[in-house]
Amino acid sequence: MRKRFLSSIAGALLIPCIAAGCAAVTETGKGLAGVSTKVLEDNRENAFRKTYPLDQAKCKEMVEELLADIKAYIYARSDKKKMLAFYVSESDTTPVGIFFVPQDNGSTDVLVSSPSRYAKEVIADRIDAWFEKKQREADKGKQ
């Protein structure tokens, strides 16, 4: 009797999963684990955008340096989506996503996405300041 009951429960849970498709199950699991990037992708059209005269790899490298410097917690990296997803800090779990969009002229658009306008502004400002700092250091080294 108990096996029949457990089989019924398992079947009832499995049917909606199969009907919803694998992607929905995966995204739901990521959402429950707190590592979903869907909200960041959905907010991408409202992202703060700035173009930097660097290729995508260099932009990503510099952003990762900044995130390490501010002790942000990176929870997802996707080369396919050209993005990084992270929490602002270990104690502030506001999700923020950085998307890197290469341009034909060798520059890169850096998009900062988050459901929090404040987080978008703060991170976009920090990225801009970090890139300016690195440019000043490079210019100083050439002199």
Same structural domain for residues 8 and 62? no
- The H-assigned helical ranges of 34-108 are 38-42, 56-69
Same structural domain for residues 124 and 98? yes
- Residue-wise pLDDT tens for the chain (143 aa)? 555 654 566 555 655 555 555 544 444 444 433 456 899 999 889 999 999 999 999 999 999 999 999 999 999 999 999 999 999 988 888 999 999 999 999 999 999 999 999 999 999 999 999 999 999 998 887 76
Residue at 105: amino acid letter:
N
What pLDDT is attached to residue 142? 74
C-alpha dihedral sign at 59, 43, 114, 25:
negative
Same structural domain for residues 110 and 133? yes
Q: Which of 94, 89, 138, 86 is nearest to 116 (CA)?
A: 94
Which CATH number is 107's domain given?
3.30.310.220
Same structural domain for residues 90 and 129? yes
Give the domain range for residue 49: 36-142
What pLDDT is attached to residue 138? 86
- Identify whether the C-beta of residue 102 lies closer than 8 Å to the C-beta of residue 108: yes
